[in-house]
Structure 1
């Protein structure tokens, strides 16, 4: 029994180190992209700044584009996880609002990093696809997750897709306000924006 706990502890430490190394790599990449421009930064530059070997970089990310898209991927994963964790008695719209409020807490806690990410993504959009590409696919994934909460199977009806599209658009408006301005109460502002939908 003690050996199993030791193994679990080792795996936990490894996973934390790996997560820390990934986050450091993303931060180094975002900083370089902001300073030099996306097209002027190589994987070797990122590895040097993050103090990792190229082999380690490619273990985490298949490409430079993937390292830039990582903050969007993390936000999408947090949103789908929060939808799954939403109280079962909530309808789709309320479950989605609950999940967006959970995601908003993460955004507020990581505001500077996400502001940098959004700036870099916008500046590099002319030369490469946006990390928010496939927004319709992400919305469809969220809609499928909402169906799964209630034990339904695809296809997703237009009403559910419309609930998701409105919520995502509302969140994007709030996100713009959060990263570009100094809101005294960002989470209160989210409630206001969600109520105005």
Structure 2
């Protein structure tokens, strides 16, 4: 059991080192001027190891999206069954916002890298709208017999994630004296 735990930790450390190396190179040189080989050299890993974690370098740029989605889904899956869906979504978005505030400089730089690339399809690094149905299903799973396609639940998710996106843009622009208070105001306005 210990070996598996050690292996898993080592894999996660390699993944994190790979992401950091790639982000540093993307910010320094621009996405279009970095190869997988460059990332492997900087992270001191073999290309085979890189491809164990990522299909290509675009997936490395999208890593914050994966992390934000995981924060959201992990919280919803663990939230007490008795909590109201709006309250659960509000707390999930608040947790993701803390992640963003802690990494604002990096996320701002990555967004600039993505926008300057001729090859990237990603224009924003944020919680993706295609995750909304999965999030609604997770909310429904907290209520025995609930319909995951109920429009009210989907609307709660849509309003919360849309409010988060508005806040995210404001946050990355900078100049917010209290980003978390700003999020609260936006979530209040969205009815979440």
Asked if these proteins are the same fold (TM beyond 0.5), I'd say yes
SS at match of 1:49: helix
Q: In structure 1, which of residues 164, 169, 192 is the aligned counterpart of residue 162 of structure 2?
A: 169
- For residues 59-85 of structure 1, the C-alpha deviation after alignment (integer angstroms, 9 at most, x for no partner) is 111111211211111111111001112
Q: In structure 2, which of residues 77, 80, 85 is the aligned counterpart of residue 87 of structure 1?
A: 80
Q: Which residue of 1 aligns with 2:119?
A: 127
Q: 1:45 to 1:174 in 2, by over 3 A?
A: same
Displacement of 1:179 in angstroms is: 2.2
SS at match of 1:142: helix
Q: In structure 2, which of residues 70, 90, 96 is the aligned counterpart of residue 97 of structure 1?
A: 90
Displacement of 1:109 in angstroms is: 2.3
Q: Which shows bigger deviation, 57-66 or 114-123?
A: 114-123
Which structure 2 segments of 5+ residues have no match? none
Q: 1:99 to 1:17 in 2, by over 3 A?
A: same
SS at match of 2:82: coil
Q: 1:153 to 1:186 in 2, by over 3 A?
A: same
Q: Which residue of 2 aligns with 1:29?
A: 22
Q: Distance in 2 between matches of 1:21 and 1:155?
A: 37
Q: Which residue of 2 aligns with 1:144?
A: 137
Displacement of 1:151 in angstroms is: 2.7
Displacement of 1:155 in angstroms is: 4.8
Q: Which residue of 2 aligns with 1:116?
A: 109
The alignment yields a C-alpha RMSD, in angstroms, of: 2.3
Are residues 1:75 and 2:77 paired? no
SS at match of 1:35: helix
SS at match of 1:57: helix
Q: Distance in 1 between matches of 2:179 and 2:153?
A: 27
- For residues 5-34 of structure 1, the C-alpha deviation after alignment (integer angstroms, 9 at most, x for no partner) is xx33x4333323322221221122122222
Q: Distance in 1 between matches of 2:145 and 2:29?
A: 48
What is the TM-score of this pair, normalised by structure 2? 0.86
Kept after mapping to 2: 8 A contact 1:30/1:120: no
